[in-house]
Amino acid sequence: MLSKDLIKDIIIENQRFISSVSFHERDYAFEDAQNYVLVGLRRAGKSYLLYQRIHQLLEKGYRMEEICYFNFEDDRLGIMTLADLDIIKSAYEEMFDTQPVFFFDEIQIVEGWEKFARRLADQKYRVYITGSNAKMLSSEIATILGGRYMIKEVFPLSFAEYLSFLGINVKEKNALHLHRKEIAKHFETYFRSADCSTRFSLAI
């Protein structure tokens, strides 16, 4: 069974990290009253969309103490069980006297996680989940979660998004003509970088 002290340390570390992270905002909208599962290939930018959503909530007046972000690929966790998920919840409740918004990154690593996710939704928690294995990517995931979550597909950074982050607006009139040489140069970099969306996010 996981050490509750370790869980508390990880929660605090994650809050500090996300408070300081920088990124360019992508065009993904979320409704405040919904729970979400973000699905997509690895390195498509799902984690950064969680960071983006957390910062949006902070701008709306949430405090970082109301955010519980947990990355299940943290090597300190080892093999987790369904019972360990409740330890995360109880560890948070011992630290903070408020109901959190949960952000669970790559939770599919834990067998039976769906039961925990459904229970949180039934208890009126707001929950955001990411996943990238075959089960998460299948059309059955909405049924597995009993209709309690909205499924949102996340795709790698498009070339148009990549250019906009570099200051080139392809929707600008005559953009292709005005920036032809720059666009050609950037496309070669984009094309050769299979994980360019993630590496670009980390570089800013």
181 compared with 5, residue with greater pLDDT: 5
Task: Give the pLDDT confidence of 166-197 residue by residue, as tens digits.
Answer: 556 555 655 555 565 666 666 666 656 655 44
Name the residue with tokens 């990290």: 17
Q: What is 4-153's CATH number?
A: 3.40.50.300
Q: Average pLDDT of the chain?
A: 82
Q: Give kind and range of the element (H or E) at residue 186.
A: helix 180-192
- The SS3 assignment for 182 reads helix
Q: Give kind and range of the element (H or E) at residue 37.
A: strand 36-39
**Angle 103-70-130 (CA atoms, 0-180°, nearest 5)?**
50
- Give the contacts of 23 (CB within 8 A, at least 6 positions apart): 48, 51, 52, 201, 204
Dihedral over alpha carbons 9, 58, 145, 77 (to 10 degrees): -10
pTM for the full predicted model: 0.79
In angstroms, what CA-CA distances link 3 with 80, 100, 110, 163?
A: 11, 20, 16, 45
pLDDT at 88: 96
Task: Give the pLDDT confidence of 16-71 residue by residue, as tens digits.
Answer: 999 998 777 787 889 999 999 998 877 778 999 999 999 999 999 999 999 999 99
Task: Give the pLDDT confidence of 59-118 residue by residue, as tens digits.
Answer: 999 999 999 999 999 999 988 999 999 999 999 999 999 999 999 999 999 999 999 999
pLDDT at 16: 96
pLDDT at 141: 81
Domain boundaries, the chain: 4-153, 159-203
